[in-house]
Every structure is written in structure tokens, then in C-alpha cells.
Amino acid sequence: MNRTLTGAAALLTVALTVAACGGGSSEGGEDNALPTDLTIENLYDNLSGKSIQWTCAGCSGVDVQAKMDTTVAAFEEVTGATVTVQTDDCGTTKLAGMVQAQNVSSSLWIFCTPADYLMAIQQGLLQEIDPQLVPVDVLVDNTYTEFGFDATPYVEGLLFNADAFPDGQPTSTVDIFNTAEFPGKRCLLTNPQYNGAFEAASLHTGKRPDEVYPLDLDAILAELDQIRSETIFVSSGAEAVQNLLNGTCTMTMRAQGDAIAMAQQNPTFSVGYVKNGAMMSSSPIGIPKHAPNPQVAMALLRFMLTDDASMVDYIDRLAGMPAFLKTLPEVSPQAQPYVITEADLETVVPQDDGWWTENMESATQRWNAWLAQ
């Protein structure tokens, strides 16, 4: 993968500028300082018996379990360290409180959105990662900063019942608007930022992926008017998947992890999945200031980017990469339809998290008013 990314990745570029202006520091607390003599050769030394907590804000239970069973289990076997993964709320309020009190419990922090990550950098909540220890050169340009990298990229693609369309399959998310060739109810989440519908509607107006943002809400809602009578709005991804399984809907918009999990758990169901035109985002990861055992955290970041075996295990579970890697390890044929590839980067729509940060209130009000009509 070598395409220059836009949207969410642009926030990471902004973060570089913020960092250069003094937005963060590599220093931790006196008792939690990173050893100054660390090298690649000794990074994994003396980790046995040490433990860290990894906060995965906004992560699903399925994702947490996948991380524990693959990356964490392999890391613990190699190093003898112990890693506990927990979920937490989105935002930076809790992390800011811990850093300010110099009472930080988590040594790694995955943020819900690039905007949360940028806010953490602006607030000086993260310490710098050492590029000599964490090989960010294996990552796609503009997907990392001094303070971390864009982790677990995902897309909201078109998930559908392939048996419902025997005469031809959808090829793009815009086919959610093609009720003539692909009849049946559509299931969409009521959360507009993460249902993928706004981006698909913009593409349906004729815009290219790099023209979708800033969003034109008038045009988007006009497009959605066309399929409103054929749409069932649901409050969760689990409900959308269940409606697909029981025949209530023929298609929905879901992340690739939900798609591969559905295929694995329902082998007799004919799962179809299209990434063309999907909304794409990620959950950046970093090391908080004053984090306990920062050497373990730094070692785990390196392990995430370099251990192909656990990486493949994680991809096979959720079709999710640890980061935007330039080169992917070979994955199983079962996972390949769901994994984000270099070719996909030409057709997906990187979500502009900055636009959502600035327009969340007004966009949500417009959306809720439209739903209430």
C-alpha cells in the first residue's frame, strides 16, 4: 500500500504540525520513564513478570477477544510479560484526568477516532514513540506521527445476502440505491457517522471518492429519500447482521470484521461483501504520558508491526490489519475478500474526521429531523 491517504490520515499530518509546536513530550513520570539504553536487540529483555493494561476505547468485545487470542497471546509467550485489554468510552476526558494526576493505569491507548487522537496530542497526553524501536517505516506515509500510528483500519462496506441476487451481485456501496436490480429491505444504522450511508449517497450523486468531503447534506438526504421506504433503521450492528440472517433485510453496511465473522459463524449463509465505495477510518494508538512499564508498551507496538504469524491470525479472525502496512503478509483465502488492499485504497472514501468534529451537532440534527419525518 503506497497511496497517499486523505481524510482521517490528514488529521495525522496536522498532528505532526501540532507536535512540532510543542503539543506533546516524550517524558513520562519519574517512576515510569523509558530506559535510555534500549535497542532493538534488548527491547524484549527483562520483560518477564511485568504487566501492562491496554485500553481499547470504543472496541467491541469481539475485537478485544481477537487481540487477546492473537497479538497479545503471542507477545506474552515471547516476552513473558502480561497484557490485559479493556474497553473504555470514546473521547480523551478520562485519559486527560489520569495524565494530569500522574496516575495513569494504561500503558497503551487505542482511540475511537483520529480526532480523539489529535486532541490527545494537542493536550500533551502522549509520549513519543522511538522510531528506532517501533519501525514506522513499514507504514504507509501520513498514517503515523511521533506519538503513534493509525491502528486497525476498517471500512464500512456493503454486506449482503448473495443468494438474494442470483442474476448478478452488487459491485459497489452505491448499489444500496439500486432497488431495481437488487430488491429487498436495506438495514442502516441510526448513527450517521458510522453507517457508511452518507459517503455512499455522495458517490451516488456522481462524486469521486476524493470529492465526497465536505459532505453536501442536502444532496445526501435527497439521495436517501429515494430508498427510505425500503430502509429499516437499526440501533446496532448486531441487529443489522441478525436482520440479514433472518431475511428481514437483503443488505446492510458493516465493517469487514462483522462480515468475516458472519461468514465464519454461519457457514451455510451465502455472504457477499463489497469494499468499493466504502467509508474508511481507523483507531490510532499511542503510549500515554506517565504510563507504567513503557518498555513493555513500546515492545508491544514493535511486535504488532513485525510479528507476521500473530498478524495473520488476527487478520484471519477479523480481516483487520494492525496498521496501514506497506506490505501485508500472506493471509488465508477465506480472509482475502474482506482484507483492505492497496487496490481498495483507490475506491474507498477516507472519512474526514475533522469535518465530523466541526459539524457533528448540525449534521446529527439534520439527520434526526430527516428520520423523524
Instruction: Please give the average per-residue pLDDT across 26-35, as a whole number.
Output: 60
Question: Do the domain assignments include residue 18?
Answer: no
Which residues 6+ apart lie within 8 Å of 205 measured at CB?
A: 216, 219, 220, 223
Print the domain residue range for 365: 155-280+343-372
DSSP secondary structure of 168-227: ----SGGGGG-TTTS-S-EEEES-TTSSSHHHHHHHHTT--GGG-PSP-HHHHHHHHHTT
Are residue 167 and residue 252 in the same domain, yes or no? Answer: yes
Instruction: Judge whether residue 10 has pLDDT over 90.
Output: no
If asked whether residues 171 and 231 sit together in one domain, one would say: yes
Does one domain contain both 168 and 217?
A: yes
252-268 average pLDDT score = 94
Please provide the average confidence, as pLDDT, over all residues in the chain.
91
Dig out the grid coordinates for 93 from the structure: 476526558
User: Are both 359 and 258 inside the same structural domain?
Assistant: yes
CA–CA dist 316, 134 (Å, integer):
24
Residue 35: the pLDDT is: 87
Evaluate whether residue 19 is within a structural domain: no
Same domain (yes/no): 249, 353: yes
Q: CA-CA distance, 338 to 318, in Å (whole number)?
A: 9
Position 8 in a domain:
no
pLDDT tier, 30 (very low <50, low <70, confident <90, very high otherwise): very low
In this prediction, residue 58 carries a pLDDT of: 84
What pLDDT does residue 26 have? 40
| Higher-pLDDT residue of 310, 113 | 310
145 occurs within a structural domain:
yes
How far apart are the C-alpha atoms of 106 and 91, rounded to whole Å?
A: 15
> What percent of the chain is modeled with pLDDT above 90?
77
The per-residue pLDDT for range 302-339, each reduced to its tens digit, is: 999 999 999 999 999 989 889 999 988 988 999 999 99
Which residues on neighbouring strands pair with residue 285, listed in sequence order?
A: 110, 149
- The confidence score (pLDDT) of residue 61 equals 82
Cβ burial of 236 (10 Å; 0-12, 13-18, 19+) is exposed
The string of pLDDT tens digits covering residues 31-49 is 578 888 999 999 999 999 9
Given a cut of 60, whether residue 12 has pLDDT beyond it is no
In a domain, 65, yes or no: yes
pLDDT for 90: 87
Q: Answer yes or no: do 142 and 188 share one domain.
A: no
129 with 173, same domain: the answer is no
State the Cα–Cα distance between residues 106 and 86, nearest whole angstrom. 9
At residue 190, does pLDDT exceed 80? yes
82 and 142 together in one domain: yes
| Residue 141 and residue 334 in contact, taking contact as beta carbons nearer than 8 Å | no
Angle in degrees, 0-180, between the axes of helices 8-20 and 353-372, rounded to the nearest 10: 140
Residues 134 and 255 in one domain: no
Residue 1 confidence (pLDDT): 46
Same domain, 264 and 218: yes
My answer on whether 175 and 145 are in the same domain is: no
Q: Determine, yes or no, domain membership for 6.
A: no
Give the total number of structural domains in the chain.
2
CATH number at residue 235: 3.40.190.10
pLDDT per position as a tens digit, 163-185: 999 999 999 999 999 999 999 99
For residue 329, being part of any structural domain is answered with: no
| Residue among 362, 191, 348 at smallest CA distance from 279 | 348
Asked whether residue 72 falls in the same domain as residue 217, the answer is: no
Classify residue 338: in a domain, yes or no: no
